[in-house]
Chain A
Amino acid sequence: MNVAEKYTDAELIAAIGDTKHLNKAILFLYQQYARTTSSFIINYGASEQDAEDVFQETVVSFIDIVKKDKYRKEASIQTFLVSVARNIWLNEVKKRERSGFRERQFESGRDQKETDVSHQIGDLEKRRQLRELVNQLGEPCRKILLLFYYENLSMKEIVDHLPYENEQVVRNKKYKCLQQLTGIIKDHPAIASQIREIIK
């Protein structure tokens, strides 16, 4: 079994900021805090699956906060994670309540405007939408963009990972894939405006 490193709070923050140690840091977050945080969320009416999803969103948010240097070390990481998870879950609950309301409106024959819907979606939904935009790409495009923009691999390294002949072919493919993604985003102006708010 791959046992995660043991970290103090300060060491964990440092590990999250270091790409080489991020995997171990995430595993440690799960080993150390997933149960406690999920139990807390379940007490608020979440199912086990909800709690699992919320904790995953919590970890993503926490890493994002740390990487953007917004984590101010209040209390402990555990308390912070529980607070973030609670916030995410309450937003999700509100979104579901609104969704039910919208469904009732729809059933009663009222028109639904896309912009109205986008204004009502919560942060959790925004993050899902954000990822879904990328998931609308075909796997080759998704892979090449992730390798370049998330893994920070060079063109030469990508040639070693993917079945392309040379760096120029990869470069041309990446141009097309990125333009394809911007096209997908342009087709969802309401989502784009929402995303700007959460990822600025």
Chain B
Amino acid sequence: MELNAAHALIDHLDHSLKGQHSPEMEQKIRDDHETAVEWHYLRLAVESVQEAGLYDQVETAKQEWLAQQSVAGRPQGAVIRTIYRKVMSVAAMVLLLAGGAAIFKYMTISSPGLYEKYYSAYALNTTRGAGTTSAIEQAYNNKNWEAVLSLGNSASAKDINNKTYFLTGIAELELKKYDQAIDIFQQVIAVNAQSGSDYFEEEAEFYLAMSWIARNDVNEAMPLLEKIKADKNHLFHETVAKMSFLDLRIAAYKDHK
């Protein structure tokens, strides 16, 4: 490409980035293959620069944070958590002083107890349309959790999707392998976040929250539960709306006492 034409294309790119478009140049890009190819590389170059710039900016912030770490000795997050614990301690003291009923409540509430109270098995056919039943779905419906895990873990790349992940996560949960279940449900959410999909998103959110409760970490479950409670269209809104958030908060405190 001639120098003048190349410069004109760069000028067009710069103007485009500011929202100023040239219909003539856009037509030329559409009509002329060489120009279109060059245009593609120019855009790619700019996107590379922007990626490098963002990385540099994050690197600078990271270095500042590392410097703060060496000065402070303790991360800000830990300080916040300490404050949070103190607040929770005060809240717990108030609860204890509230009377015998409150004391009884406090003594009897636990994460495992709440998990048993609020957990309901996921019924595959009630929330997703009927179709050809796969081997993993059959195993799931038969509550053959080991088989679900085996099929999920041995699935080929083309068969792995959020449904496979999700059913495998439920199997882990049913087998009381809570950490593994958490990993899998987070994976479903992450895959959706990166793909822009919401396939099995709401199911994963609810059972991720239940998994956190099951492993005595209600604090991690609370943001999810609050989100579901606030979203009246969420698949598990009714279920979560019936939960006692006071009980959950007490359990959260006890988990971290």
Residues of A within 8 A of B (CB): 1-4, 22-23, 26-27, 29-36, 52, 56, 59-60, 63-65, 70-76, 78-80, 82-84, 86-87, 127, 130-131, 133-135, 142, 145-146, 148-151, 174-175, 178-179, 181-182, 185-186, 192, 195-196, 199
Are B53's CB and A181's CB within 8 A? no
> Which B residues are in CB contact (< 8 Å) with A150?
49-50, 52-54
> Which B residues are in CB contact (< 8 Å) with A30?
61-62, 65
- Central interface residue in A86, A179, A192, by most chain B CB within 10 Å: A179
Least CB distance from A84 to B in Å reads 6
- Central interface residue in B47, B72, B192, by most chain A CB within 10 Å: B47
Partner of B224, one of A79, A151, A186: A79
Least CB distance from A34 to B in Å reads 7
Report if B10 contacts A (CB, 8 A).
yes
> Which A residues are in CB contact (< 8 Å) with B45?
178, 181-182, 185
CA distance A73 to B234 in the complex (A): 14
Stretch at the interface among B74-82, B129-137, B239-247: B74-82
Are B194's CB and A87's CB within 8 A? yes
CA distance A65 to B193 in the complex (A): 9
Known: A2-B64, A34-B65. A83 touches B47 (CB 8 A): no
Are A79's CB and B49's CB within 8 A? no
CA distance A87 to B189 in the complex (A): 11
Closest to B226 in A: A76
Least CB distance from B39 to A in Å reads 10
> Which A residues are in CB contact (< 8 Å) with B60?
23
Closest to A147 in B: B53
Known: A175-B7, A185-B48. A70 touches B193 (CB 8 A): yes
CA distance A56 to B52 in the complex (A): 13
Question: Number of B interface residues, CB 8 Å?
Answer: 55
Closest to A155 in B: B14
> Which B residues are in CB contact (< 8 Å) with A70?
193, 196
Partner of A75, one of B41, B46, B71, B224: B224
CA distance A101 to B59 in the complex (A): 31
Partner of A31, one of B58, B76, B183, B208: B76
Report if B103 contacts A (CB, 8 A).
no
- Central interface residue in B58, B77, B191, B220, by most chain A CB within 10 Å: B58
Are B55's CB and A149's CB within 8 A? no
Partner of A195, one of B48, B53, B59, B76: B48
Are B205's CB and A74's CB within 8 A? yes
> Which B residues are in CB contact (< 8 Å) with A60?
51, 54-55, 58
Least CB distance from B10 to A in Å reads 6
Are A130's CB and B51's CB within 8 A? yes
Least CB distance from B8 to A in Å reads 10
Are A192's CB and B76's CB within 8 A? no
When A and B form their complex, which 7 residue pairs have the shortest distance between CB atoms, in order from nearest? A150-B53, A83-B190, A30-B65, A76-B223, A26-B61, A31-B76, A134-B52
Least CB distance from A109 to B in Å reads 29
Known: A74-B227, A178-B10. A1 touches B49 (CB 8 A): no
6 A-B contacts (beta carbon < 8 Å): A23-B57, A59-B58, A74-B193, A76-B227, A133-B48, A185-B41
Known: A1-B71, A30-B65, A60-B58. A35 touches B78 (CB 8 A): yes
- Central interface residue in A63, A86, A149, A175, by most chain B CB within 10 Å: A149
Least CB distance from A5 to B in Å reads 12
Are A64's CB and B77's CB within 8 A? no
Are A72's CB and B49's CB within 8 A? no
